[in-house]
Amino acid sequence: MAQQLRLMAVHAHPDDESSKGAATLARYVDEGVEVLVVSCTGGERGDILNPRLQGNADIERDMAEVRRKEMAAAAEALGVQHRWLGFVDSGLPEGDPLPPLPDGCFALEPLETASAPLVKLVRQFRPHVMTTYDENGGYPHPDHIMCHKVSMEAFEAAGDPTRYPGPDEPWQPQKLYYDRGFSTKKMLTFHEALLARGLESPFADWMKRREEWAEKMGPEPEITTQVNVGAWFERRDKALLAHATQIDPDGWFFSIPLEMQRELWPTEDYQLARSHVQTTLPEDDLFAGIREEES
């Protein structure tokens, strides 16, 4: 049964799949589910965030190729399949006022142009479940917001033979989830636990930024689904570290001991945004309701 199930995780950049829901992907792979990660862009405009690699001229000269190799290593660590949509990273505009986005970038593509290759991929891979970001992108990055738009368009359109006509048979995914891996409650739980144990917490600045984003993003979203993945945290971290230009091995991702993570928050969290099957909330399985229909 599990071997017939398919999960597609749609992300904006290489490394997003490893920082958002990676342990979930690894768990389902081990359970026999076919898992496909889709990267909308190549991450070409990403900065080198690992202090150990900053100033490396070889990396700076060909960031696109470096990130392709990193993504391949992360996919191998998780055991997932991977596809590129082929769009160009928009970069994260900074300043006041914000500068315009670069011509030809993903966030400026017309919706139908950006969605067409994902619709095609949905029809070919035929996922039962898709995961992506909410309308705010999880955080206000233009590529994350565009990733949400194309994911929703593909979810709604792939099953309609009159939309995006082509040679592939229509396919309607059954459920779509928003990633909720960085909830304020989760970060606050870790923050307080670290301080209580006399350890330094990296989350004070994070929560301050979250408060600033909240002005634009509104109230804390609902978590409907928590998948227990504590046993797969090592695989998640291996995939994260594969993105060497983007992940500081001494950074906050690795500041919480794995034992503490498993004790305090052993799940990865999601919000059910669309469903064509009956399910009961809260859930502990992205395929809840689908397994019952398939059996």
205 assigned ligand-binding residue = no
* Residue 235: both structure tokens together: 């695989």
Q: What is the rounded CA–CA span in Å between residue 250 and residue 253?
A: 8
Q: What is the rounded CA–CA span in Å between residue 53 and residue 256?
A: 23
Q: What is the rounded CA–CA span in Å between residue 236 and residue 284?
A: 19
Q: What is the rounded CA–CA span in Å between residue 143 and residue 89?
A: 7
**Taking the CA atoms of the chain, what radius of gyration do you get in angstroms?**
19
* Under 8 Å between Cβ of 193 and 264: yes
Q: What is the rounded CA–CA span in Å between residue 112 and residue 164?
A: 8
3-state secondary structure of 117: helix
Please spell the DSSP secondary structure of 198-229, one letter per residue.
Answer: T---SHHHHHHHHHHHHHHH-SPPPP-EEEE-
11 assigned ligand-binding residue = no
* Residue 141: both structure tokens together: 């990055």
168 assigned ligand-binding residue = no
With a CB cutoff of 8 Å and minimum separation 6, the contacts of 292 are 277
Detail the residues annotated as belonging to a binding site for Zn(2+): 13, 16, 144
- Give the residue ranges of the annotated binding site: 13, 16, 144
